[in-house]
Amino acid sequence: MSTHTTGTLPRSPRFGVTWSTPVVLFTLLSLPFPLHGQVRFVEKTDGVDIQVNGKPFSFLHFGKEAGKPYLHPLLTVSGGPDPVTRAFPVDPLPGDSTDSPHHRGLVIGAARVNGQDFWENDPSSTGSGKGTIAFKELTGVRGGEDRGTLSMLAHWLSEEGRLWLVERRTMTFHAEPMEMRTFDIDLELEAMEPVAFDDQRSAIVGLRLALPFDSHYDGWAANAAGGVREAEVRGRRSPWLVWIGITSGGQRMGVAIFDHPSNLNHPTRWEVHDKGFFMANPFGGRALAQFDPTAASEDAAYSMKRGDKLHLRYRVVIYPAEREVRETVGKVNGLFREFGRR
């Protein structure tokens, strides 16, 4: 059960003062102010600092403590102190909801792979049959003036330690447009043994947002059809989904995930909760039928033979948002069209 505190939203401490995540190791004053866009990476023992246009943006955690790698926090163009991702459980804030500790910023995983769980596999999660997505190495770290690419290799290991999938992930962070933060995820999964993804609710790219995006604080989600909030978007097909919220710093922000037209089962179905969670799910069919009856006849299970590869592409956009649903749909449709042409 989600725990909420009503009233004024808590404001995040400023970087370099009390936050413990490694992203605080650099401050705005210590970074060069760019005359043009730039993306820079700083490698650490447990992850990688990600800086865009001279300001902190995120940190790639290798995730040994969490059962899988994850990006946390995700920040706006200001660089702080108001992340768009929930602080709990990495850097809890007063009033944070404390449900689902496996919701750590942006995560890639799946709840049912050969019958094992590669999603709710945080060490604090109960139950058996928990797989592990083990970070192995960085395969490419390249900053740049207009974009930077961060590539990594991970192994999807069964509870018994068998290698089922090799994950090759490249994340491309864009310096422009300057008024928003944009990054792409290029994901390849290669089967080392026969692998079956069940038709399921929880897969494959998920994002847990901060309190201002929770419907308890007037946050709301929208899809390309103009559906609003969990009741109208959960389980539905859409090429994108966006959450709108007003941060504790007073900024109205949108956070969107785009599903590329080349992806399996595009436009994807979405697992959505009003508490500020959403997930692009290419394996969601009849498992989501209670939210969209049209899914009842769909079996989205997906099987792979040894050597098969699954390629998926996504984009995440954090931008100054509109006030009305119609304006939001128009804005995000335009942003999605540009991504879909790539």
Question: What pLDDT, in 10s, does the model give residues 219-248?
Answer: 999 999 999 999 999 999 999 999 999 887
Mean pLDDT by 10 residues, the chain (342 residues): 43 37 38 64 97 97 94 93 88 80 92 96 83 98 97 97 98 96 98 98 96 90 96 98 88 95 98 95 98 97 98 97 91 94 83
Transcribe 124-175 into DSSP letters.
T--SS-B-EEEEEEEEEEE-BSSEEEEEEEEEEE-TT--EEEEEEEEEEEE-
Q: Residue 176 CA to chain centroid, in angstroms? A: 20
Residue 259 near residue 280, CB atoms below 8 Å: yes
Cα gap 244→246, rounded to integer Å: 7
Cα gap 111→131, rounded to integer Å: 9
Q: Within a domain: residue 251? A: yes
Q: From start to end of the chain, where are the E strands?
A: 39-43, 47-52, 55-61, 70-74, 106-110, 132-142, 147-157, 163-174, 181-191, 195-197, 203-208, 220-223, 240-246, 252-259, 269-273, 277-281, 302-304, 309-320
Q: What is the pLDDT of residues 287-322, one digit of tens each?
A: 999 999 999 999 999 999 999 999 999 999 999 998
Q: Within a domain: residue 90? A: no
What are the backbone dihedrals phi and psi of residue 117, each rounded to the nearest 5 degrees, phi first? -105, 115
pLDDT at position 306 is 98
Q: Within a domain: residue 130? A: yes
The total of other beta-carbon atoms located within 10 Å of residue 153's CB is 15
Q: 329 in helix, strand or coil?
A: helix
Q: Within a domain: residue 180? A: yes
Instruction: Identify the CA nearest to 101 among candidates 133, 70, 139.
Output: 70
Q: Is 36 exposed, middle or buried (0-12, 13-18, 19+ CB in 10 A)?
A: exposed
Q: Within a domain: residue 158? A: yes
Q: Within a domain: residue 24? A: no
Count of domains forming the chain = 1
Q: Within a domain: residue 305? A: yes
The domain in which residue 207 lies consists of 107-340
pTM: 0.90
Number of helical (H) and strand (E) elements in the chain, helices listed first: 2, 18
CA R_g for the chain: 19
Q: Within a domain: residue 194? A: yes
Instruction: Identify the CA nearest to 276 among candidates 108, 12, 87.
Output: 87
